[in-house]
Structure 1
Amino acid sequence: MTDTRVATRPGDSRRAPRARRGIPLVMTAAILWLVFAGLHLALSGRVWWWQVPELVPPFAFVVVPALLLVATLAARRARRATIVIAAASLVLGGGVSGLNLAALWHRPVPAPADALKVFSWNTWYWDQRAEGGRPMPPPTGTPPRDVADFYRYLRDQHADVLLLQEYVYFGDGSQPIRVNDLDRLRREFPGYHIATASELVTLSRYPIVLERGIDVRPWAADDPDTTEPPTPDLPDFFAVKTLRTDVRAGARTVSFYNAHINSPVEPFPPGLDPRRLSRRQHLLRQANLRAVAADVAGNPHPAVLSGDFNASPAMGLLRMVPERMADATPALASLYPASWDERLPWWRIDWTFATPEVTVHEYRFVRSNGLSDHSGQRLVISTSR
């Protein structure tokens, strides 16, 4: 009988099965990630139940395809198809990855002498965690801080306009409690004009000629699930999440929208817990941005919208930012700007947008050194009219 066996080199019988096992695994992973990226682009910001996948760190949309491409190099079969699939998911998800490629070539225009310095910051419940300060329980697991350090940090920004969020305390039962620190603010910022609404406070070195909280209720009235009873001490806490302040600086009037868009989770107790994601919060987030967009559409002045949007670059909610406004991100020098949480800076949820009449000359995130879980946004802007 003729011997039909083919001679093999030592080790071939081990390598071939391993290669056969590896190819389907890598290719399957690439297909699954491509499907996930496609579903994310289609569903994010449109359906409330996609909010859990939205919490993925945005850099995953470039890191995962890149790792799949590297893993494909070890494959012996179907390598070309796997590369195509992984590359397609990289192209598909690259726009929501948070990468700021404009930092490689963007060169800001030098600021004129009359440019405005703006500072926007989520303060993390104002000075509630101050040592020996307010008689409110601090957020769970947060260290105390000194009131003087808090105000020193604000003064050190040397800003003409400060847009501050979470001007609020939380008391027993996690209910919001109104802050009244106006006397202290006037002492710390003599000559500044102050506007407040809900949990927002705006300070301006220049006169404030108009101030109003933007009420979300007309934009949420069609759905009863978005209704929320007012709290006794801060009745507009749920209704107003953006404060518009028009500032008269010389011959120009600039509108500043100080925003704190709702979190994707139920607000009480404070904190990010995916188990508390809800349809109501999703609808409120949309309603707040619709309300802002409507106000901006009827506003003839140059305008800046800045604050805590509770939305990462991977969240489709940002598609609802007013059409007139452009993202200021290209002015950032960082390739992957992140503003939250400072202990693990994987996400960016603090943003600034501006109308075409506004030029952003400088833009950077300023670490709060433990005063908040958010970095501050520091900008230098000017207007063409």
Structure 2
Amino acid sequence: MTARTTGADQAATRSPGAGARRRIPLVLCAAIAWLVFVVAHRVLSGRVWWWQVPELVPPLALAAVPVVLLVATLAARRARRAAAAVALASLALGGGASGLNPAALWHDAAPAPADAITVFSWNTWYWDQPVGRQMPPPTGTPAGDVAAFYRYLHAQDADVLLLQEYVYFGADSRPIRVNDLDRLRREFPGFHIAAASEMVTLSRFPIVLQRGLDPPPDGGRDTPVPPGSDWPGFYTVKTLRTDLRVGSGTVSFYNSHISSPVDPSAGGLDLFSLGRTQHAARQADLRALAADVEANPLPAVLAGDFNASPAMGILRLVPGRMADATPALRSLYPATWDDGWPWWRIDWAYTTPEVTVHEYRLVRSNGLSDHSGQRLVLSLSR
């Protein structure tokens, strides 16, 4: 007796295998989703304000995620080649913004000449305001804290110091002016000092020009100064330019602290404060800087806290004359934000072609700041 097989039975027999063949493998779905994110990031980052939350991803993820996906394809039964191809495409598109510094493996800097210039750039984290930071500066600041602050500065043995956050902050997140110039003159006798907004520059070389760069009225800012502020320059001037007489020539040093993507009145990392106003302020800061650099025929050095990781497209606005000094770093993954896990680099250094970088290293602040310092040894092309 022969059993009869109905069409329904045949469909039931075929359906598990057929359905499995029709389903897209999970690893391919993940690879496609990540590639879509990377493409969107390349297109939108730095251009639209509402992409600021995705920009906070640790930059290393742009290289690490595709690598993890490539490893996962080894265990895939189907669509292995397609998943690998998609993962490689996302690595090619996003790897350059991952913060990795492969040049550390082969870069060989030229020895510094005897007349080389040592530059130290550092975000001081509200100057010497004690730990806790979100408080008015007390009248009796512990002497040990201030002494440690100045010992750290002296230890850099720098010819030029580019210091940011020359400011205190009150409990209401209101910036408070610092007047520490007399102390700086005592601590650094013979140095020349320039200050603007919350940047201060100290130099062994004579200062022949100094000015804060204030974005023009059409610079794109959208009401950056809080109503009633008695210090509008704090919000608008985010770069201090000083031209220094070095030997028989003049070199421009740009000391920058680009506005944070987070509204400073939030008092911390508040994702709801990543708004259009801060994005416009950051663009205006960098456009003012770029306009000045492009009109400046002098050799130039630019360093400071840009509040921008390698993953943030706003770095496209860095002046075109400037070359990133990162290849001279010895670190494969340099990170400068010391607050918490060291996944982000937000401090940068750039030079024009007339300036040679012989040495570049990051100096941990040992708790004095939430930023590492940047120490460079430079010389002028002859």
Task: Establish whether TM, by shorter chain, passes 0.5.
Answer: yes
Report the equivalent of 1:350: 347
Report the equivalent of 2:167: 168
1:205 is aligned to 2:204: yes
1:109 is aligned to 2:106: no
AA aligned opposite 1:65: P
Report the equivalent of 1:270: 267
Structure 1 residue 92: deviation in Å? 0.9
Contact conserved, 2:224 with 2:281, CA < 8 A, in 1? no
Structure 1 residue 271: deviation in Å? 2.6
1:94 is aligned to 2:95: yes
Contact conserved, 1:174 with 1:268, CA < 8 A, in 2? yes
1:373 is aligned to 2:373: no
AA aligned opposite 2:196: A
CA distance in structure 2 between the aligned counterparts of 1:287 and 1:25, rounded to whole angstroms:
43
Residue 234 of structure 2 aligns to a residue whose secondary structure is coil
Report the equivalent of 1:218: 217
Gap change, CA 1:24 and 1:345, over 3 Å in 2: same
Q: How does 1:15-30 map to 2 (within 5 A)?
A: 24-30=25-31
Structure 1 residue 250: deviation in Å? 1.3
Larger deviation, residues 263-272 vs 103-112:
263-272
Structure 1 residue 24: deviation in Å? 1.8
Q: How does 1:135-146 map to 2 (within 5 A)?
A: 135-136=136-137, 146=145
Q: Deviations over 1:186-213 (max 9, x none)?
A: 1111111000000000000111111000
Name stretches of at least 5 consecutive residues in structure 1 with no aligned partner.
5-15, 138-142
Structure 1 residue 274: deviation in Å? 1.8
CA distance in structure 1 between the aligned counterparts of 2:178 and 2:230, rounded to whole angstroms:
10
Q: Provide the TM-score with structure 2 as the length reference.
A: 0.90
Report the equivalent of 2:179: 180
Report the equivalent of 2:54: 53
Gap change, CA 1:36 and 1:144, over 3 Å in 2: farther
Residue 89 of structure 2 aligns to a residue whose secondary structure is helix
Report the equivalent of 1:286: 283
CA distance in structure 1 between the aligned counterparts of 2:351 and 2:228, rounded to whole angstroms:
33
CA distance in structure 1 between the aligned counterparts of 2:72 and 2:118, rounded to whole angstroms:
47
Of residues 333, 337, 357 in structure 1, which corresponds to 2:334? Answer: 337
Report the equivalent of 1:8: none
CA distance in structure 1 between the aligned counterparts of 2:21 and 2:264, rounded to whole angstroms:
50
Contact conserved, 2:25 with 2:78, CA < 8 A, in 1? no
CA distance in structure 2 between the aligned counterparts of 1:119 and 1:319, rounded to whole angstroms:
24
Contact conserved, 1:129 with 1:144, CA < 8 A, in 2? no
Structure 1 residue 249: deviation in Å? 1.5
Of residues 289, 292, 297 in structure 2, which corresponds to 1:295? Answer: 292
AA aligned opposite 1:176: P
CA distance in structure 2 between the aligned counterparts of 1:373 and 1:144, rounded to whole angstroms:
20
Gap change, CA 1:224 and 1:81, over 3 Å in 2: closer
Structure 1 residue 69: deviation in Å? 0.8
Contact conserved, 1:230 with 1:238, CA < 8 A, in 2? no
AA aligned opposite 1:99: L
Structure 1 residue 231: deviation in Å? 6.0
Report the equivalent of 1:240: 237
CA distance in structure 1 between the aligned counterparts of 2:136 and 2:370, rounded to whole angstroms:
21
Contact conserved, 1:245 with 1:255, CA < 8 A, in 2? yes
Larger deviation, residues 52-61 vs 261-270:
261-270
AA aligned opposite 1:104: L
Contact conserved, 1:130 with 1:145, CA < 8 A, in 2? no
Computed over aligned residues only, the root mean square deviation of the Cα atoms, in angstroms, reads 2.4
Structure 1 residue 218: deviation in Å? 2.9
1:80 is aligned to 2:42: no
Gap change, CA 1:113 and 1:292, over 3 Å in 2: same
CA distance in structure 2 between the aligned counterparts of 1:95 and 1:173, rounded to whole angstroms:
39
Contact conserved, 2:127 with 2:168, CA < 8 A, in 1? yes
Contact conserved, 1:121 with 1:164, CA < 8 A, in 2? yes
CA distance in structure 2 between the aligned counterparts of 1:219 and 1:282, rounded to whole angstroms:
15
CA distance in structure 1 between the aligned counterparts of 2:146 and 2:80, rounded to whole angstroms:
60
Structure 1 residue 300: deviation in Å? 1.5
Report the equivalent of 2:152: 153
Residue 225 of structure 1 aligns to a residue whose secondary structure is coil
Report the equivalent of 1:70: 71
Gap change, CA 1:24 and 1:212, over 3 Å in 2: same
CA distance in structure 2 between the aligned counterparts of 1:358 and 1:325, rounded to whole angstroms:
10
AA aligned opposite 1:214: L
Structure 1 residue 324: deviation in Å? 0.6
Q: Deviations over 1:218-271 (max 9, x none)?
A: 343xx5724424764433101100000011121121100000000011111333
Identity of aligned residues (%): 71
CA distance in structure 1 between the aligned counterparts of 2:94 and 2:37, rounded to whole angstroms:
10
AA aligned opposite 2:39: G
Q: Provide the TM-score with structure 1 as the length reference.
A: 0.89
Gap change, CA 1:96 and 1:22, over 3 Å in 2: farther
AA aligned opposite 2:183: R
AA aligned opposite 1:77: R
AA aligned opposite 1:266: D
Report the equivalent of 1:34: 35
